[in-house]
Each structure stands twice: as structure tokens, then as C-alpha cells.
Amino acid sequence: MSMPAEYFKQLFAHSDDPWAFRTRWYEKRKRDLLLACLPRQHYQRVFEPACANGELSAALAERCEQLLCQDLDATAVALARQRLRPWPHVRVDQGHLPGDWPGGEFDLIVLSEIGYYLDPVQWLEVLEHALACLGTNGALLACHWLHPIDGCPQSGHQVHALLAKRLALYRCVRHEEADFLLEYWSLQPSAIDLEENCL
């Protein structure tokens, strides 16, 4: 992580919801759009790094068999574990990217609001890890704020430009607004599972 751990420690020292994920309409609407952009109803194994206090994680937990969450900050990990306690198939680990990439295969990796905290070399390493561990029908969803963030080594536009340049995947969904960009990349040209049963 290019941004120092102290940056996130200070954020969580002052609030258990420093980005107002629980209360801001902007965050709720963006989360709903992110979930709507997932073309499959259900995923087997999902990885969500930078899970913060677990608000998006709680929604992802409803859509998968296993969910692995991760965050750099110990307070965020504790808050996420508390938030996700109702879902026994969810695990929250402390770690930072790219160094603490987990083992195993995933069919969905969610990189939400994380890329600009990494310098371009670290971000490319994250993308390499992601590509290496995607299953046959694997996919990657990325969502980032597009306005400048003080101290961050990249902008949201730069983060997604590197995605487009380096991901050997099909871009199945692209949703851009003035404030954020959301993209869904898949190993398959069609991300919809036509044989999927309704739950």
C-alpha cells in the first residue's frame, strides 16, 4: 500500500464510518449500482480487499458461497468482523496489497475504492495477482471515485486506464458518471450464466 498505514489509522480513530458508507445517499446508491452490475445472481468465492467497515461486504455476502474480506487497518477489520457476524461463510483478514494477496481461486474479485491508494507499479502487481487466481468464469469488478484525492499517487481515471491496458479480459459492463467509474471485466465474453438457476 503506497499510502501510509497511519493515514487509515487516523481516519478510523475519528469515526467508525469515515467515508459515511452507512449514511450517505451517494454511497448507498453507488453500492446498489455496483450490485446491479454483477451479471450473475450467485458467485462461489469472492475476494474483497479494502473492505473498510464491511458495508459493501454485507451486500456481497448475500450473493456468494464464500467471501474473503481484507483491510490494512486493525480497527476496520474489527468493525467489519462485527458487521459481518451474521454470515458464517465470511472471513475478514488483516493485510495489505499487493504483498498479502490470498491463495486459492476466486470467481469474483471486487476492487472498490482501492486503486488510487497504490502507486502504478503496486496496482499492476495487484492486477497480475487477480488475473492469476481467477477461475474459468472469473470476473473482476472495479469502482473508483474520479475526483482528485490529496496524497494519492493515482487518480481514478489512471487506475481504470491501467485496467484497460493490462487486463486480458472482456469488459462486459462500463458505467461512468461525473463522480465515479464502475467496470466489470470477465474471462468470458458474456458474463451472464444462462444455465444459472433462480434461487
Write out pLDDT tens, residues 140-149. 999 999 999 8
Question: pLDDT of 6-45, one tens digit each?
Answer: 765 666 566 676 656 677 888 899 999 999 999 999 999 9
Q: Would you list the DSSP string of the chain?
A: --S-HHHHHHHHHH-SSTT-TTT-HHHHHHHHHHHHT--SS-EEEEEEES-TTSHHHHHHHTTEEEEEEEES-HHHHHHHHHHTTT-TTEEEEE--TTTTPPPS-EEEEEEES-GGGS-HHHHHHHHHHHHHTEEEEEEEEEEEE-S--TT-SS-HHHHHHHHHHH--SEEEEEEE-SSEEEEEEESSS----TTPPP-
Q: For residue 196, is it within any domain?
A: no
Q: For residue 174, is it within any domain?
A: yes
Q: Is the peptide bond before 98 cis (omega within 30 degrees of 0)?
A: yes
How many independent structural domains does the chain possess? 1
Q: For residue 193, is it within any domain?
A: no
Q: For residue 84, is it within any domain?
A: yes
Domain with 89, as residue range(s), is 5-186
Q: Which three cell numbers stand for residue 123?
A: 496496482
Q: For residue 123, is it within any domain?
A: yes
Is the model's pTM score more than 0.85?
yes
Question: pLDDT of 92-129, one tens digit each?
Answer: 999 989 999 999 999 999 999 999 999 999 999 999 99
pLDDT recorded at residue 189:
86
Rounded Cα gap, residues 4 and 112, in angstroms: 19
Q: For residue 165, is it within any domain?
A: yes
28: CATH: 3.40.50.150
Q: Which of 173, 186, 87, 165 is nearest to 51 (CA)?
A: 87
Q: Is the distance from CB of 46 to CB of 66 less than 8 angstroms?
A: yes
Strands 43-49 and 180-186: unpaired
Q: For residue 198, is it within any domain?
A: no
Q: For residue 33, is it within any domain?
A: yes
* HSE-CB of 125 using CA atoms within 13 angstroms: 13
Confidence of residue 195 (pLDDT cuts 50, 70, 90): low
Confidence of residue 150 (pLDDT cuts 50, 70, 90): confident
